[in-house]
Structure 1
Amino acid sequence: EYPGWTMFREGYMNWAGYQMLKKEKNADAIKLFKLNAEAYPASPNVWDSLGEAYLKSGDPGQALSSYRKALQLDPDMESARNAVEAITKGS
């Protein structure tokens, strides 16, 4: 009945995810960022944030996948490009 309607805004959910990262609650941050990516799959920012959370939780493979998704959506996204370069240099 309400196409495109979501219970939360992208920016608020992203903020909440970063609050979890600050508290080193990486698993909770990943859950929030994944939920945000499901609700806003066309947003490069949500994929970039998810990549950051995966990286902080020690999962460079998932981080790389998320950062690459962000770059598919926005090839000029510098933070995602830098992260991909750093991860691939380290592997």
Structure 2
Amino acid sequence: MSYNSIYLTVKYDLVGYMHDTELDRMMEDLVPVLEDLEMWQEGDIGEEQYRETVTEFKSKWFKRRKCDIEALVNEEFEKKKEELLKELEYMGNVD
């Protein structure tokens, strides 16, 4: 079976375009899984490496806890706060 480099499609057409921060991150983390799947099926890597990549993905995304989501919210809030404060710096001291 040919996967036609589907990992590149996900990487360039889905990552950053899901209109949801958590889904964008999940798609980004899915790219290595899809790449390893294709490489394994083409004989470029062994099944063990593919399974390790799958395990890493699953352990991150299939056992989410409230504290994980809160950490994500806090991280995104801080990024946005820094971005907005930087915009204010450019404005100077305008009253």
What band does the TM-score fall into relative to the shorter chain?
0.3 to 0.5
The two structures have a TM-score, normalised by structure 2, of 0.32
The two structures have a TM-score, normalised by structure 1, of 0.33
Which structure's CA Rg is the greater one? 2
